[in-house]
Structure 1
Amino acid sequence: MQQQSVNVAFMINSLEGGGAERVMCNLLRIMESYFATEQLNVYLILLDNLPEAHLCPKYVNKVNLDTKGSLLQGYRQVRLTLEAINPRFCFSFLTRSNMLNVAVARAVGYRAIISERVNTSSHFAGGIKDNISKLMVKMSYPYASEVVAVSEGVRADLRDNFAVPAARLRVIHNPYDIAHLHELANKPVADLPARPYIIGTGRLVKNKNFSLMLEAFAHSDLTDDLLILGQGDEQAALEAQAEQLGLSERVHFAGFRSNPYPYLKHARFFVSTSNAEGFPNAIVEAMCLGKAVVATNCESGPAEILSGEYPVTVRGFEAVRYGCLCQTNEVQGVTEALNFLNDEDHLQHYAQQSAQRAQAFSDDIFREKIIQTLTLDTSETKEAADVHPG
């Protein structure tokens, strides 16, 4: 007897430029053959009607909502959508999508699988709005059928600070198609800096702390230029800071690039100075291209990636197994790391270590872990979800 097809759903705020959005599209690409074999009809729900920087695979049924960032509008629109789809599960990324997924699941009756992509405590650092957001996470996440953390640091934060039961938490690192990244890196671009350069990428927002990168770069012995790829509301302040530091001729703010990999390929090494991460895609992507890495030891992700361990404490700067870890928000440590990688022997050693470490984050490993998550015994997960998590 032929198996009857079943609907499943995925949900994210939008497909604007960002790491979580890229991973969602990669997940759908990696899982296509599995979904076809299992005869699953796949839907992707986008909460907001915004420009899309990432391509959703063609086999996916994309549903564009227009919630305008509102949880109230989101609940109404998502509930109507998921009632019509009637999915076996809905797998969501990002806080707003996750909270809506859990709330609607309790009303409609499907498995809510949520994935936290950032260290929640660090992401909502303070202020009334952030405190409200943290309370809402604590009131919703423990009721999900399954919670996927992108790193060990994120898992520990959700368990210790947001009452998510340890039995319902699992870590799945992001996937990376190394061969495809090399293909993208080989595409020609016309605006590479004329001089040797190091590179940093990401949204130009306070949590990414590009201000620290500029300060350390100014104090370092490097003669290279610095290329920064990304856009955000801190750009004007960062440009003013670069001018004040006398770096206007050496720092290039190149904006967002849908294909940043040619710029990574031609850089000497990669730098990340974030105050908080979930699992920093940019670090691993640089390593996939064989680039040595300097990164602050923020929560969460860099220590796991660069040392293979968690947790790790660093004072100032430490050269660990796969890269250079620095104390968070501390200029001297980052400066020392930049000077360390300015030595060609150190640079070549850590370029080789990067390429070796990247092999641990393959599509195949990711695919198997996603399948395990999606195929958990539904009766067990429903029973767990019906029990008050406290």
Structure 2
Amino acid sequence: NLYGGTGTFCKNLVLGLKKKYKSKYHISLICFDSQGFTQDDYNLFDYLIIIGKSCNKDLRRFYEFPYYYYKIGKEIKKINPEIVFSIGTYMNVLMSLLLPKDIKIILSEHDVPSIRTNLSHYGKIINHFIKRIYYDKICIGVSKGVLNDLSENYKLKRLRLIYYGIDIELVQKLSLSENTSDIPNFPYIVSVGRLNVQKDFRTLIYAYNYAMKKGLDIDLVIIGDGEEELKLRELIKNLSLVKRIHLLGYKKNPYPYIRNAKIFILSSIWEGFPYVLLESMALRVPIISTNCKSGPAELLNYGEYGELVNVGNIEELGEAMYSLYYNKERLKMLSLKLIERSKFFSLDRMISEYDQLFEEVNNENR
């Protein structure tokens, strides 16, 4: 679907290709469900098919494989593409097994496969598939950390690094939207992400509680929804922080909430390449992030453009929140530097690199 960072990537890629190269690309999209779609998204693709069944993102519903195999195979025959660009482990495995030899395929990984598969009931099977069917195909990694995982744990050779790109002007424009009546009118720290185990909001809440006890006097706003919401609300209640921590739910446009924050925090246990950090950079909001696999350290140039803390370390994250908020010079300096850093990850650069890759693959064996 088009929810989250990979959804943003997909839309940015298609928009960028069509804007820069006009009619050169005829782009179809096959996806599992419509989560994250807007009406503009439906108009973006030349052909769009939603399989109509939700794919469990932790890969545990591997038994649905035959259903997807049949449905997607039928659509591929109808589209008859020159190139298939596959996004994510599940779809990579499915398409590698499904596609006939005369259709060229490019795989892409937007997460750290070895971590995700270790959380799956079918992890060993998926790891076997990755090693056996990825080996002769080009596979894009969205960070050096993802590429290292694919190289070290799966011994893959045909690897390419293409960082995400961001449309800075668009993000800044959307951040000025006035259709956001629930933006807090008091100072706050913000975090944005799906309320699940990966994003580790429990550590963030405990760290905020730690910083409050040190004297931190600023609220915490969390944007997102997910399966951990009730547990997080209970934790907030147990810590007597209901009046200071605000769970505002999913926002189609989170940028006004980010722009108005004093600090952005990413507390994830792992990532592939967190798009939301790019968006925070574009909005000049200072960042504290866990130094997780993978992406944050590369984005922040190993601490030059933001604070990095160890994964799951409550005291370290709490200390970083307290120290950065009260270090006004550091906050100002980071705010000034971040917009320049975000320009390194321009959308135009990403689009050019993908166009070059598609040209190269399309011309193979001609």
Tell me the TM-score normalized by structure 2.
0.91
Displacement after TM superposition at 1:291 (Å) = 0.6
Displacement after TM superposition at 1:127 (Å) = 5.4
Partner Cα distance (2:250, 2:174) in 1? 16
Q: Are the equivalent residues in 2 in contact too, given 1:47–1:97 (CA < 8 A)?
A: no
Residue 154 (str. 1) matches residue 137 (str. 2): no
Q: Which amino acid in structure 1 is aligned with residue 256 of structure 2?
A: P
Aligned to 1:117: 110
SS in 2 for 1:376: helix
Aligned to 2:330: 346
Q: Are the equivalent residues in 2 in contact too, given 1:292–1:351 (CA < 8 A)?
A: yes
Aligned to 1:100: 94
Q: Which amino acid in structure 1 is aligned with residue 194 of structure 2?
A: R
Deviations 1:139-177 (A, max 9, x none): 332243x21111000011011112321xx1111111111
Q: Are the equivalent residues in 2 in contact too, given 1:340–1:346 (CA < 8 A)?
A: no
Aligned to 2:59: none
Displacement after TM superposition at 1:58 (Å) = 3.1
Q: Are the equivalent residues in 1 in contact too, given 2:83–2:362 (CA < 8 A)?
A: no
Q: Are the equivalent residues in 1 in contact too, given 2:84–2:104 (CA < 8 A)?
A: yes
The aligned runs of 1:292-331 (5 Å cut-off) are 292-307=286-301, 320-331=303-314
Displacement after TM superposition at 1:45 (Å) = 1.1
Partner Cα distance (2:338, 2:286) in 1? 6
Partner Cα distance (1:57, 1:155) in 2? 33
Structure 2, unmatched stretches of 5+, are 56-63
Distance 1:207 1:377, change over 3 A: closer
Partner Cα distance (2:44, 2:35) in 1? 19
Distance 1:127 1:83, change over 3 A: closer
Displacement after TM superposition at 1:67 (Å) = 4.8
Aligned to 1:312: none
Distance 1:128 1:37, change over 3 A: closer
Residue 371 (str. 1) matches residue 346 (str. 2): no
Partner Cα distance (2:240, 2:69) in 1? 50
Q: Are the equivalent residues in 1 in contact too, given 2:82–2:362 (CA < 8 A)?
A: no
Displacement after TM superposition at 1:336 (Å) = 1.8
Q: Are the equivalent residues in 2 in contact too, given 1:205–1:234 (CA < 8 A)?
A: yes
Displacement after TM superposition at 1:35 (Å) = 5.0
Deviations 1:73-117 (A, max 9, x none): 111122221122221100011222111221122x35211111111
Displacement after TM superposition at 1:377 (Å) = 4.8
Residue 182 (str. 1) matches residue 176 (str. 2): no
Aligned to 1:252: 246
Distance 1:200 1:377, change over 3 A: closer
The aligned runs of 1:23-42 (5 Å cut-off) are 23-38=9-24, 40-42=25-27
Q: Are the equivalent residues in 2 in contact too, given 1:323–1:353 (CA < 8 A)?
A: no
Q: Which amino acid in structure 2 is aligned with residue 155 of structure 1?
A: L
SS in 1 for 2:194: coil
Aligned to 1:314: none
User: Which of 361, 365, 380 is equivalent to 2:345?
Assistant: 361
Deviations 1:7-55 (A, max 9, x none): xxxxxxx23x2110111011100000455343x4221112336563582
Partner Cα distance (1:202, 1:125) in 2? 22
Displacement after TM superposition at 1:347 (Å) = 1.0
Distance 1:298 1:109, change over 3 A: same
Distance 1:187 1:65, change over 3 A: same
Aligned to 1:280: 274
Q: Which amino acid in structure 1 is aligned with residue 26 of structure 2?
A: N
Q: Are the equivalent residues in 1 in contact too, given 2:15–2:44 (CA < 8 A)?
A: no
Displacement after TM superposition at 1:379 (Å) = 6.5
Aligned to 1:139: 132
Partner Cα distance (1:59, 1:206) in 2? 33
Aligned to 1:63: 49
Aligned to 2:237: 243
Partner Cα distance (1:349, 1:68) in 2? 44
Aligned to 2:4: 18
The aligned runs of 1:253-268 (5 Å cut-off) are 253-268=247-262
CA RMSD of aligned residues (A): 2.0
Percent pairwise identity: 28
Aligned to 2:61: none
Q: Are the equivalent residues in 1 in contact too, given 2:7–2:36 (CA < 8 A)?
A: no
Structure 1, unmatched stretches of 5+, are 1-13, 310-319, 384-390
Q: Are the equivalent residues in 2 in contact too, given 1:25–1:57 (CA < 8 A)?
A: no
Displacement after TM superposition at 1:294 (Å) = 0.1
Distance 1:27 1:378, change over 3 A: closer
Residue 213 (str. 1) matches residue 213 (str. 2): no
Displacement after TM superposition at 1:56 (Å) = 4.5
Q: Are the equivalent residues in 2 in contact too, given 1:296–1:325 (CA < 8 A)?
A: yes
